Amino acid sequence: MVSKMNTKDDWEDLKFFIALAKERKLKKAAESINSNHTTVYRRISQFEENYNLRLFDRTPAGYSLTAQGEELFEKLTSLDTKMDTIFSSLQGLENKLKGNICITTTPSLALSFLPKAIKKFRNQWPEITIDLKVSNHFFNLSKREADIAIRPATDIPLHLKGRRVGEINFAIFGTSNNKLKINKKNFLKNINQYSFIALDESLSHLSSQQWVDKHINDENIVCRVDNLTIMSKLCSEGVGLAILPQYFSKIVRNIEPIYQPKEFIGNELWVLTHKNLSKTPKIKVSTEFFYHELQNALF
């Protein structure tokens, strides 16, 4: 029997398991959840080791489920239905869910997925108003500068409580028409033949920018910005190549990933709130809602 899961990481590992069970190949599974094949393999292997399971057999045609894997997969396929039931029951709290919620997020998320999510949220809970604060800087949840933070994070402070939406990896993007005639196979070897758009010092802490600092000469950087969305627009106009979140290929026209670094250069996306607020009905409903909306949209 499958052991009872007792950590949040276990739930995240199941996302990788489901992807491989459906796609049967590591590369396709990784693409379906905007990850990479090494992460998929690592997370599933660790999960199998933790619970002393063997979920897959490797065959010439790909990965096939073992009996244990089949049993687990059957149980998980009903989760989406169960979550719909839970959200339906939460709507019974509608009369209690009133007032204002302050959400802070990044410009790229605010301009891409959040508008539709907020509209859907307002349709379900019309008596809750949302104050959206958009910035690359962290707002202090302890000082109630915001109630909920939807943003990338690495080290989560102990006074915060949240849910990890997933990993957002980055890739190097160029224009879809590839006017530069980029040789993708030898790209890294010839990387300093191209012009790049980079992030400025305010975002120098990001793994993606640290990768740029390591591999790209300063003279090849033609423009610096403090906003990933602006960077993607400049890239689409052919100003230069840019390192962007992989999901930008879904939301920005005329750009496509041309090279994926072997190492993980992204970050983790979280929905966070202060522990003292986490059990407040409107905060609890809001964090759960936006967590699932982002999961569905991004992964």
DSSP 85-143: HHHHHHGGGGGG--EEEEEEE-HHHHHTTHHHHHHHHHHH-TTEEEEEEE-SSPP-TTT
Integer Cα distance of 105 and 127 in angstroms: 22
173 Cβ contact partners less than 8 Å away, ≥ 6 residues apart: 232, 235, 241, 242, 243, 244, 248, 249, 255, 256, 257, 258
Q: How many C-beta atoms lie closer than 10 Å to residue 282's C-beta?
A: 19
**Domains located in the chain, CATH noted:** 8-77 (1.10.10.10), 96-166+267-298 (3.40.190.10), 170-259 (3.40.190.10)
CA nearest to 3, candidates 46, 40, 52: 52
Angle at the Cα of 193 from the Cα atoms of 230 and 266, rounded to 5 degrees = 45
For residue 271, what are its two tokens?
A: 């929905």
For residue 271, the 8-state DSSP code is E
Among 167, 177, 168, residue whose Cα is nearest residue 247: 168
Q: CB of 299 within 8 A of CB of 165?
A: yes
Tokens linked to 167 = 């990993």
| Cα(256)–Cα(192) distance, integer angstroms | 19
Contact 255, 173 (CB under 8 A): yes
Closest of 140, 110, 141 to residue 290, by C-alpha: 110
- Walk along the chain (299 residues) and give the pLDDT tens digit of each residue: 444 554 556 777 888 898 899 999 999 888 888 788 889 999 999 899 888 999 999 888 889 999 999 989 888 877 656 665 565 455 444 446 889 999 999 999 998 899 999 999 999 999 999 999 999 887 778 777 899 999 998 778 888 899 999 999 999 999 987 656 677 778 888 899 999 999 999 888 889 999 999 999 999 999 999 999 999 999 999 999 999 999 999 889 999 999 999 899 998 999 999 998 988 899 999 999 999 999 988 87
